[in-house]
Amino acid sequence: MTRIPSGYLYAALGTLVFSFTLPMVKIALPSFDPWTITFTRMTIAGTVAAIVVVVTRTPFPARHLWKSILLTGLGISLGFPIFSTLAMQRTTAAHGAVIIAGLPLVTAMFGVLTHKDKVPRLFWVGAILGTSALVVYAWYHGGSEHGDPVADLLLVAAVLSSAYGYSEGARLTKVMPNWQVVTWCVVMYLPLSAIAAAVSFGATHSQHTIEPKGIFGLLFISFGSMYLGFFAWYRGLAELGVARGSQVQMLQPILTLCWSAMILGETISASALVTAAVVLSSILLTQRARSVKPPAQFAEPLPRG
């Protein structure tokens, strides 16, 4: 019996946690402003991470790693949360899942560009196929009930932010434990996020009625999507490499579509399912075509101060 590499299991666990993100954001939105959600989830995750640092007596990262940590946090802690949350104000989680389906593909591209992996032409055939499917879907659904051109642009920005954060964070896993990468990301942004959360909540809380389900959604994306999910995800990327590991996330749009229907009662259109299938097929094509260097080897090591 073939033994499944542990990296796939870690990446799959991270993907499972992340697949709940958009539905949970939709649940939290009636109770909180998008900016409050973004900065509060960063603050909660940062507070928990700070406690972890103190309890484990983890030393502060070397100064030459600060830039990479801050850039990683800019992508996964700030960029993706705010862009995706703003998008969820304008569209459904099911529609968002289709756009987010391009995340594994874009992450693999960042891996190729950043880590200089050599890939054959078939890889780019799959990349163009998947991207084209997303563009066509977004274009024809821009004026539909669940589509919104601005929401689509916000989701694309979320994908780019997250993919960059994944790639940069994977570089850090070569010089520090995977759990420390996301830990220091949210800890370093804690002073900023705490102030921003207090200001945004103070300015907008009177406009919303806070409900228990809204609090639950916020807590889930704070503990799960913003922090604990990355423990498993970065472990998977560290073991498999960015390009190969990121492809496990092709399961995310399917799972998110399921949660959107089960939790939110959203209708999943036939075109959304077809588009998701085309995107996932293209990602499988890139997986079969790709020639990946060993994950431990990085073309551009992190600079020292």
What is the per-residue pLDDT across 236-259, written as a single tens digit (0 to 9) for each? 988 887 877 787 887 888 888 888
Q: What are the Cα distances from residue 260, in Å, to 92, 120, 222?
A: 8, 36, 19
Q: What is the pLDDT of residue 203?
A: 92
Average pLDDT of the chain to the nearest whole number: 85
**Residues 6+ away with beta carbon under 8 Å from 230:** 14, 76, 169, 178, 179, 181, 182
**Are the beta carbons of 222 and 40 closer than 8 angstroms?**
yes
168, two tokens: 């940069």
Helices (H), 6-65: 6-18, 21-28, 34-56
Q: What is the residue extent of each domain of the chain?
A: 11-289
Of 128 and 19, more confident: 19
117/243 Cα distance (integer angstroms): 8
Amino acid present at 173: T
Q: What is the pLDDT of residue 301?
A: 52
pLDDT (tens digit per residue) in 133-191? 876 776 665 445 556 789 989 999 999 999 999 999 988 988 999 899 999 999 999 99
Confidence of residue 296 (pLDDT cuts 50, 70, 90): very low
Q: What is the pLDDT of residue 223?
A: 95
Tell me how many degrees the CA angle 274-132-255 measures, rounded to the nearest 5: 40
Q: What is the pLDDT of residue 92?
A: 85
**If DSSP codes are grouped into helix, strand and coil, which group holds residue 268?**
coil
16-25, 79-88, 182-191, 251-260: range with lowest mean pLDDT: 251-260
Of 86 and 269, more confident: 86
243, two tokens: 């390009």
Of 5 and 80, more confident: 80
pTM: 0.83
The owner of tokens 């995977």 is 178
Confidence of residue 269 (pLDDT cuts 50, 70, 90): confident
